[in-house]
Structure 1
């Protein structure tokens, strides 16, 4: 990395902006990674240093949502544990698998997730209508079974847990826009407001990135100056992002997710499919 006042300022500023973006939606990596490349770091070193530098911002943003976490300890613990397991698999995959194994599906995954976020109000209405139909047709004979299923569904159910695990694998391997994927899954399968879901998303992404960062620190060299600059910037950005996001109406927050998600998908398509 070329050390100069301009470079330090650019890296630090990109960290602040990435912390804001990651807390509101995700995809801050798409901003900081090119800055690190422009500062003179080779791509692999830039990717690993970037991951290490942005972890603190994820937890900073999650802390900004601490008031929304009351009464949700079990859910946070469960989702965090599933995210951790997925991240371990993904980070190990980064070490042993060729990049082409994931690069082909990453843009499509982010694109689909963005469209899911956009269609969430309509999809949830359809799912609720279907659930009422099944409940009415099922009568009272299976009331106990329905009660057990509803208790499981309150935490998302196996389908959501599998999705969180998959997002953890993806996040541990690559990371950019994993938050969009998680928000899409949460919004579709959990009956809760998007603000609370966004806070839980930040915890899951923090766990995923922390696992990847720890692995990189243990097995690879890290450019510590830019990583520390990103850490300082993302810590501040996480707090700013939480303040902004918590004040956004749900429709505006959802629109931000969709716009940034579609932008991320476009960037990824250009980067990996051309």
Structure 2
């Protein structure tokens, strides 16, 4: 019963965080590992649980996504599909022991990206320099591979990539981020499911509670004025979880 409660609370919190500021994987993934789900399966299950939230967010930003961009929307989606497949494929051939060793570093990278991402994004969007098409597609492809392999911190990394290639319209960038997160997750989840990496019992708990949390979070998102405090809380969780996984690995 304690396990069910922890998974439900983690899913609820993850859904709320994703709706308000992002970083929900910092709760759902460690909770699944704590519940005894193997790290690779926990990563796949947490990605599946976040999928409905990505879909609803992408739909909410549909008007902003429709704007022109370079690369084009179809080019970005194509890169997301190929990169997501490659990242998910890399996860399938990664041993459980190797992935367990990589997880603390992935959590640390995702947390640092979440912490410094907004500042870097502001700097990059102020510059407004357009990268060449091959360079832009290469950058987005690299982030897509990461997203197919590990879902944590994907949103902020996509935003940073868009800023790096010269995009400046934050609403358009947020829309693209949500759409590409959805595409990447669909591709990844399909691959994970085919390989039998989804813990369906845990998904039923985390997925439903995550969806409820997303609805609640979206409802109250505009009422929260001190988002900096919330971001600080999420960053603290990320660093704490990374430290816990490092200590477990060392022990």
Question: What is aligned with 2:91?
Answer: 94
| Match for residue 28 of structure 1 among 24, 49, 55 | 24
8 Å CA contact 1:57–1:238 kept in 2: the answer is yes
What residue number does 1:192 align with?
A: 169
State whether residues 113 and 184 of structure 1, in contact with CA within 8 Å, keep that contact through their aligned partners in structure 2. Answer: no
Larger radius of gyration: 1
Tell me how far apart the structure 1 counterparts of residues 13 and 91 of structure 2 sit (CA, whole Å).
26
Rounded Cα–Cα distance in structure 2 between residues aligned with 1:264 and 1:253: 16
- Which residue number corresponds to residue 140 of structure 2? 164
State the alpha-carbon separation in 1 of the partners of residues 115 and 136 from structure 2: 17
Q: Work out whether residues 87 and 144 of structure 2, in 8 Å CA contact, stay in contact via their aligned partners in 1.
A: yes
1:118 is matched with which residue? Answer: 119
The Cα shift of 1:242 comes to 4.5
1:31 is paired with a residue of what secondary structure? helix
Residue by residue over 1:54-90, the C-alpha shift from the partner in whole angstroms, topping out at 9 and shown as x without a partner, is 2222212323333433446994443222111111111
Once the two structures are overlaid, the 10-residue window that deviates more, 180-189 or 16-25, is: 16-25
Does 2:245 correspond to 1:271? Answer: yes
8 Å CA contact retained: 1:163, 1:185: yes
**Correspondence 1:53 to 2:49:** yes
Separation (CA, whole Å) in 2 of partners of 1:33 and 1:172: 15
More off after superposition, 20-29 vs 198-207: 20-29
Q: Once the two structures are superposed, what CA deviation does each residue of 1:128-168 show, in whole Å capped at 9, x if it has no partner?
A: 5xx6xxxxxxxxxxxxxxxxxxxxx4x98433322221111
Equivalent runs, 1:168-183 vs 2, <5 Å: 168-183=144-159
TM-score (norm 1): 0.70
Cα distance between partner residues in 2 of 1:248 and 1:174:
29
Which of these residues, 61, 65, 72, is aligned with residue 65 of structure 1?
61
Matched, 1:83 2:80: yes
User: What root-mean-square deviation, in Å, do the aligned CA atoms of Structure 1 and Structure 2 show?
Assistant: 3.6
1:148 alignment partner in structure 2: none
Q: Give the TM-score normalised by structure 2.
A: 0.75
Q: Deviations over 1:228-268 (max 9, x none)?
A: 2222222233344445557778xx76886687457536643
**Structure 1, unaligned runs of 5 or more:** 132-152
Distance 1:89 1:233 in 2: 30
- The alpha-carbon deviation at position 218 of structure 1 amounts to 0.9
Per the alignment, do residues 191 and 46 of structure 1 end up closer, same or farther by CA in structure 2, a change over 3 Å counting? closer
For the pair 1:230 / 2:226, whether they are aligned, the reply is no
- Which structure 2 segments of 5+ residues have no match? none
Whether the aligned pair in 2 keeps the contact of 1:86 and 1:172 (CA below 8 Å) is yes
